Structure 1
Amino acid sequence: MEPYWLTRQDLAHVLRSLEERGGKKPSDILRHAWMRNESGTEHGNLTGSPLPPIAEKLMRCSERRGFSLHEIADLGHLLDFSTLSVTSMQNWVKRDFKLYFHCPHAGKKYSLDQTALLLMIDDLKANLDFETIRRLFAMLFRECDESGKPGPAGITPLVLFDRYTDLFHLLDQRKLWDTMNGAQLEQTVWKEAAKSAETMTVLSAEQKAALHHMLFVAVISIQAARLQALARRYCHAALYMSKPY
């Protein structure tokens, strides 16, 4: 029985929908993912994987402005090769990235933008140290304002998360990662990232350049996380599945 899972694009679309900027309802996106996980079942014969509690909450609610750290960790657990944990996020919001997390901005919960920021940190740390990630964020985002939205007009963490997950999904659909030609892979990702950044007409030329680089780094970081997860799987097999001497 395959567990219920989401792509990063699915989760980004759920968050955008909760922000009331997506075309579909969160329940529609989550239901589509459930059907996809059940080998394309189209008529409600969903007797395989159970629906995780966090997905059930989102299926039932019509409005949500934020998530607790435990809920964000639960969302991360729905993603492939994510290592998101409550303990890690507590360190990020209190120490490593506290400029963006002075306090939760959706009651006692973290706003949709803050949620996206935590998901991004989890992706980027596959390749980058925290100091580098902070410098990249500083190129695009400002510290949190009272609404919990760090960023100049036109670009927010949620917009960025939506952009790079869409880009990764596009390249994944084209089987780009199956090629062993590193130069071709780099050129294609760079070109598609440029296209995505250029459509953000509200940004200045400098901001578009920063966004272009950020999209490239984020997409490559997701693939790096995938390879690291593969390495961990084989390492665990070597350590724990072989017979002791």
Structure 2
Amino acid sequence: MESFHMTRKEMASLLVALDGRSSQTPLQVLQEAWKKAHRNYPESGQALPALVSTELPPILERMIRGSETKGFSLQEIADLGKLIEYSHLSITAIQNWVKRDFKAYFDSPKMGRKYSLNQAALIFIIDDLKSNLDFISIQKLLKIVFLDESNEKDDLISPMDLYVSYSTMFEELDANNDQLMDTAGHVKESRNQDALTENAIRIVAERHAAKLPHMSNKQKEALRSILFIATISIQTSYFHSLARRYLNAVLFLET
């Protein structure tokens, strides 16, 4: 059966829609994501067979039926994480983060026995950041960005808004949707072009960070950095996934 996949921006849009902060319903977000990945099907008359043969987790089936969803179990978060392209999120990893590595952010579920939409977004953020950072570094960044120095119980930015920001950044930087961030200004005679990529990401990160007021200079700098790192982490996830696919193919075909 075919699998349903979503970009990070589409997953962020789904969380925002579930939170009631979008002009779209969750079903409309899912419909757009599916149509984007199957643009030729409506014209060829294959839309219905393709959708019927698509494997959907129970949490997605409930959304399609219109059931109200304001929180998730850890298993449901893992199921959603598996829909994100180039992500390999597992229930075991999530349980370790919630109970040990990032326990301070998951001291208790926020929606009865369910974890909130923001807690789900935070798990997706941690999964992205771990592509490039160790857990201690991630903990330090999250503390600076999410906790107000004057009141450690107030979020300076919600995990959902952070997830929306850097997932939107990546799609801006990958305008042609080839899974590689676009970089303009290459000089044929120049050997090193790394500064071009760094500058392009930094400019977009600064623009997104500037939209969020009431932050100290230290916090804004941390936000710019986490946006920068998270955007690169999406790119890293693609290369990690590609490497794993080739490794699996070699091992599978080994005689």
Q: Deviations over 1:93-117 (max 9, x none)?
A: 0000000011111111100110001
Partner of 1:18: 18
Partner of 1:80: 85
Q: For structure 2, which runs of at least 5 residues remain unmatched after alignment?
A: 187-192
Select the residue among 225, 232, 238 that pairs with 1:220: 232
Aligned residue for 1:46, secondary structure, equals helix
- Segment of structure 1 superposing worse, 230-239 or 87-96: 230-239
Select the residue among 194, 203, 217 that pairs with 2:215: 203
1:48 aligns with 2:53: no
Q: Deviations over 1:92-150 (max 9, x none)?
A: 0000000001111111110011000101111111111110100000111139xxxxxx7
Contact 1:123/1:222, CA 8 A, preserved across alignment: yes
Q: Percent identity?
A: 42
Alignment partners' CA distance in 2, 1:46 and 1:163: 34
Aligned residue for 2:87, secondary structure, equals coil
1:188 aligns with 2:190: no
Q: How does 1:22-171 map to 2 (within 5 A)?
A: 22-42=22-42, 45-49=47-51, 50=54, 52-53=56-57, 54-61=59-66, 63-142=68-147, 151-153=154-156, 155-171=157-173
Contact 2:175/2:182, CA 8 A, preserved across alignment: no
Alignment partners' CA distance in 1, 2:214 and 2:40: 39
TM-score, with length taken from structure 2? 0.85
Contact 2:170/2:181, CA 8 A, preserved across alignment: no
When residues 160 and 6 of structure 1 are mapped into structure 2, their CA distance, relative to the original with a 3 A threshold, is same
Alignment partners' CA distance in 2, 1:185 and 1:195: 16
Q: How does 1:2-13 map to 2 (within 5 A)?
A: 2-13=2-13
AA partner of residue 236 (structure 1): N
Partner of 1:237: 249
Q: Deviations over 1:170-204 (max 9, x none)?
A: 11225653669422111101111011101113433
Contact 1:72/1:115, CA 8 A, preserved across alignment: yes
Alignment partners' CA distance in 1, 2:64 and 2:86: 24
Alignment partners' CA distance in 2, 1:9 and 1:185: 21
Q: CA deviation at 1:156?
A: 0.9
Q: CA deviation at 1:65?
A: 1.3
Question: Over aligned residue pairs, what C-alpha RMSD do you find?
Answer: 2.3
Q: CA deviation at 1:233?
A: 1.1
- Segment of structure 1 superposing worse, 180-189 or 78-87: 180-189
- Segment of structure 1 superposing worse, 60-69 or 199-208: 199-208
Q: Deviations over 1:44-79 (max 9, x none)?
A: 933214251332222223532111111111111111
When residues 42 and 237 of structure 1 are mapped into structure 2, their CA distance, relative to the original with a 3 A threshold, is closer
Alignment partners' CA distance in 2, 1:224 and 1:137: 20
TM-score, with length taken from structure 1? 0.88
Contact 1:140/1:151, CA 8 A, preserved across alignment: no
Partner of 2:189: none
Q: For structure 1, which runs of at least 5 residues remain unmatched after alignment?
A: 144-149
AA partner of residue 239 (structure 2): L
Contact 2:2/2:55, CA 8 A, preserved across alignment: no
Alignment partners' CA distance in 2, 1:203 and 1:23: 28
Q: CA deviation at 1:81?
A: 1.3
